[in-house]
Amino acid sequence: SQQGEEDPQALSIQEGENATMNCSYKTSINNLQWYRQNSGRGLVHLILIRSNEREKHSGRLRVTLDTSKKSSSLLITASRAADTASYFCATGPSGGSNYKLTFGKGTLLTVNP
């Protein structure tokens, strides 16, 4: 079953603008991760935020987590054409087992030069 659901499904922006993608989930989580996928390629891990964290930064990436709303957002600042990709959130369930990391359907980001 799909746990995380990204929003929007597709986003098109100009180079230099910021891109914000959202992820909502339904059940309690241990952590939430964001992955990136270039067209038809393998997914690459971007950042992990634990359930007791509210915000995390990595380079041009900023992730927030609101466990009361069961939602997360990924902000990419000063976007570049090379950021064009699909972005997925993935949730690891609380209760000890992270084996069934569940992915959403992704947001397709297009950054126009």
Q: Segment near another protein (CB under 8 A), from 15-23, 57-65, 66-74, 96-104?
A: 96-104
Is the peptide bond preceding residue 8 cis, with omega within 30 degrees of 0?
A: yes
Q: Which of 85, 92, 109, 111 binds another protein (CB under 8 A)?
A: 92
Query: Looking at beta carbons only, is 15 or 22 nearer to another protein?
Result: 22
- Please answer whether residues 85 and 36 qualify as being in contact, where contact means their C-beta atoms are separated by less than 8 angstroms: yes
For 36, 96, 105, 110, the CA distances from 87, given in Å and listed in that order, are 5, 26, 9, 11
Task: Please report, as ranges, the residues that interact with another protein according to CB under 8 A.
Answer: 1-2, 30-31, 33, 35, 40-45, 48, 50, 88, 90, 92, 96-106
